[in-house]
Structure 1
């Protein structure tokens, strides 16, 4: 990756209609608000092909809207072998996804790209973002809040390297600093 190439982050859940689209949208918004929107590409995919081409679950879109995000343009896509090559970091939403992704990795470099989102939230009670698909509106909101917190932690880990590799100066923060670092 050259200093002019964007850093590519791929969020992965099962069907790519609930958790990973939330993470994709939240992380993209965070990068935009921190002045790094043109230096980070945030996308998402699913470990299954159940919903390929579909919009995010309507409850996902509504939860995002309630928090000021736009998830209306999302279309579900599957994780493919090329996803390892095309991305710098692959963020699993739960340990099942992490296990699947590590099994799909062809070598240590690909396996080393895989991480868990909630590893970037020290206060998280679990490393798994729960799947809200069979739950109520409140659960979608709760899952989104988890994703926001962990995304800020992940961004905090990436931001210094992104700024130094690209010769960028720190920008004033537009939101309160609520960052955490990953668990050991």
Structure 2
């Protein structure tokens, strides 16, 4: 795995998860990763956000099927409101942008130091896309949740091991 990029601001680290509309995949990953970060005691250092490359769902809650899948698994999906990715002009840019698929990654400008695919960190099937469950049934949302949980755990392990916000480390 490629090391995590260093923090832009010492002592803080910002991870942004990006999909197309910010109502299915990236908010699912946002909710799960935020809980994993808190469980690891990193919520005072690591900020998790999510966004979509499109603007058609801005301000809306998560897709009801994604929210139901998260709720059934014990997560709180109620706070999410879709937002659009701000691009390079973001006043609070993330340290690491994780795209859900190749098309989302291309919208972010392609792979780079601060941009990669979310599943690049997946210990089971690295580098593959998180499939978009929007046009399918409930099984697709459950499949996405499984991928997200496993990958979010791996990301937290990398954060704990590398501590990219700690500028005093070599």
| Number of aligned residues | 159
TM-score, normalised with respect to structure 2:
0.86
Equivalence for 1:24: 30
Instruction: Kindly state the Cα deviation for residue 49 of structure 1 after the two structures are TM-superposed.
Output: 0.5
Determine if contact 1:14/1:46 at 8 Å carries over to the other structure: yes
Residue correspondence of structure 1 range 25-104 to structure 2 within 5 A: 25-81=31-87, 82-83=89-90, 86-102=93-109
Structural RMSD (CA): 2.2
**In the superposition, relative to structure 1, how do residues 49 and 62 fare at CA in structure 2: closer, same or farther (>3 Å)?**
same
Equivalence for 1:2: 10
Q: Comparing both structures, which one devotes a greater share of its residues to helix?
A: 1
**Aligned pair 1:12/2:12, yes or no?**
no
Determine if contact 2:25/2:100 at 8 Å carries over to the other structure: yes
Structure 1 segments (4+ residues) deviating >4 Å: none
**In the superposition, relative to structure 1, how do residues 111 and 63 fare at CA in structure 2: closer, same or farther (>3 Å)?**
same
The structure whose Rg is larger is 1
Q: Deviations over 1:48-77 (max 9, x none)?
A: 001011000011111111111111111101
Q: Return 5+ residue gaps in structure 1 as ranges.
A: 104-109, 168-184
**In the superposition, relative to structure 1, how do residues 16 and 2 fare at CA in structure 2: closer, same or farther (>3 Å)?**
same
Equivalence for 1:124: 125
Determine if contact 2:119/2:126 at 8 Å carries over to the other structure: no
Q: Deviations over 1:118-154 (max 9, x none)?
A: 1111322761000000111121011111111111112
Q: Return 5+ residue gaps in structure 2 as ranges.
A: 1-8
